[in-house]
Amino acid sequence: MLSFNIRGLGKNDKIKFNWFKNLIFREKPAVIALQETKCRKPPEFWIEKIWGSDDYNYAVKNSSGLSGGILAVWDPNFFCANCVVERDSFIAIKGNWKCAGTELIIVNVYGPHTDDLKKKMWDDLRDVMSYDNAMWVILGDFNEVRSKSERKNTIFLEHRAKRFNSFIKDSNLIDIPLGGRNYTRISTNGVEFSKLDRFLVSEIFLQQWPNTHAMVLNKKHTDHCPIILKDGNVDFGPKPTKVFDEWLNHKEAPEIIKAAWTKEVKSSNPDCTFRDKMKNVKTELHKWYSTSPGKLKAEIEELSEVVDDWEIRAESEDLSEAQLKEWMDSRDLLHKKENTQLEMLKQKARVKWDLEGSENNKFFHSMIRRR
């Protein structure tokens, strides 16, 4: 299960859209819980593109204008929902987790900011949980911390933390420790840190999946980090290999493919011969792409690591003005490189469209989706 405060669905922000789509493709969650969608009703084409297929179900709580909004999407092959309960700050989806044959209730939370609304959210959650003794997973952005150590350079209000801890204790929930990072929300100026996102599960949930663990993933294009809950025994299988259109359009690509295909292979079985030849092509293409047309991609990856290193360092120490400036400069350069990459894709798509005419007017959109 993946939870993320997305701060707007990003249908007009292609860099953010593509990054999130690639995250879903890489992690392959069975459930996605999004908060702060800033959308009254998410467009289904957006959900389908993010999910990667039309095999999904979803539940939504509309935003109030451009404020709030909650969306949960799940794979019906894993989770079969039969009831959705909506409250001011969350949606609860009750159903059956098919592979275990157990009843499960998933609650996607986007916590309010004011004290009275926070109190109402805890009361609403207690009320909903009192009607059913099923397994629970409560996930999302609670907009609250449990202790002073979960905040840095921000105001800690003890009475709110006590109220949060009382809810967890009274409901017999377990706060799954998050690996990877100490905080899940980092302000845009790189100064304020908070642990606002988490997974709360019932005891019987951990009895069913004792190897459950959670991680904080690297963030981009928003101030919150995605968090993911996994079972240690899950095997998602080998990662697929793709050949991008732009590789085949490059003048060097045909010769590289021919040279790789004509390499000698030891297999005598025709199927194995074909497999080994394809492996040679894959290896040579990746080697070529990483050293020539893939240089910009490598620069983006390197800058991403630099920015992530600065964020992790800032969690444990106060940075000087010079260090903060270096951090911000690296982040600005990263965004510039990503925009350059996007503009290159746009330019290639327009050239192709000019050559092939209006029948191929979807080419640009398919290129962006593939990237």
Q: Per-domain residue ranges for the chain? A: 2-231, 245-370
Cα of 230 vs its chain's centroid, Å: 13
Q: How far apart are the C-alpha atoms of 334 and 330, rounded to whole Å?
A: 6
**What is the pTM assigned to this prediction?**
0.66
Q: Hey, what's the torsion of the CAs at 298, 46, 352, 284, to 10 degrees?
A: 40
Please, which pLDDT band fits residue 343 given cuts at 50, 70 and 90? low
pLDDT of 338 reads: 82
pLDDT of 368 reads: 45
pLDDT of 249 reads: 66
Query: Per-residue pLDDT averaged across 318-331, rounded?
Result: 90
pLDDT of 155 reads: 92
Res 244 pLDDT > 60 = no
pLDDT of 371 reads: 39
Residue 99, φ and ψ in degrees, nearest 5: -65, -20
Quick one: which H or E segment has residue 85? Answer: strand 79-86
Please, which pLDDT band fits residue 221 given cuts at 50, 70 and 90? confident
Which position has the token pair 């000087």? 320
Query: Per-residue pLDDT averaged across 22-42, rounded?
Result: 90
Return the ∠ at Cα 66 (arms to 62 and 67), rounded to 5°.
70
Distances (CA, A) of 174 to 180, 201, 205: 19, 5, 10
pLDDT of 360 reads: 45
Please, which pLDDT band fits residue 206 given cuts at 50, 70 and 90? confident
pLDDT of 35 reads: 93
- Between 313 and 66, the more confident residue is 313
Q: How far apart are the C-alpha atoms of 319 and 310, rounded to whole Å?
A: 9
Give the chain's radius of gyration (CA, Å).
23
Please, are residues 171 and 125 in contact by the beta-carbon 8 Å criterion?
Answer: yes
Q: How far apart are the C-alpha atoms of 157 and 209, rounded to whole Å?
A: 34
Q: How far apart are the C-alpha atoms of 305 and 328, rounded to whole Å?
A: 14
Please, are residues 266 and 275 in contact by the beta-carbon 8 Å criterion?
Answer: no
Q: How far apart are the C-alpha atoms of 245 and 345, rounded to whole Å?
A: 11
* Selection from 232, 173, 223, 162 nearest residue 198 by Cα: 173
Pairing, β 31-35 against β 2-5: parallel
For the record, the structure tokens of 283 come out as 């290896």
Res 248 pLDDT > 80 = no
pLDDT tens by residue, 178-192: 988 999 999 988 899
Number of residues that make up the chain: 371
| First-residue to last-residue Cα distance in the chain | 24
Q: How far apart are the C-alpha atoms of 143 and 112, rounded to whole Å?
A: 7
pLDDT of 240 reads: 55
User: What percent of the chain clears pLDDT 70, i.e. is strictly above it?
Assistant: 86
Res 216 pLDDT > 90 = yes
pLDDT of 296 reads: 73
pLDDT of 359 reads: 39
Res 194 pLDDT > 50 = yes
Please, are residues 176 and 229 in contact by the beta-carbon 8 Å criterion?
Answer: yes
pLDDT of 200 reads: 96
Check if CATH label 3.60.10.10 holds for domain 2-231.
yes
In three-state secondary structure terms, 66 is coil
Distances (CA, A) of 88 to 37, 129, 141: 15, 15, 14
Res 277 pLDDT > 50 = yes
Which position has the token pair 């359009």? 249
By mean pLDDT, which of 141-150, 264-273, 294-303, 322-331 is the weakest?
A: 294-303
pLDDT tens by residue, 92-117: 999 999 888 889 999 999 999 999 99
By mean pLDDT, which of 116-130, 227-241, 276-290, 357-371 is the weakest?
A: 357-371
Res 361 pLDDT > 50 = no
Alpha carbons within 13 A on the beta-carbon side of 222: 25
User: What percent of the chain clears pLDDT 90, i.e. is strictly above it?
Assistant: 45
pLDDT of 190 reads: 86
Query: Per-residue pLDDT averaged across 119-125, rounded?
Result: 95
Please, are residues 207 and 215 in contact by the beta-carbon 8 Å criterion?
Answer: no
Give 82's contacts (C-beta < 8 A, 6+ positions apart): 94, 95, 96
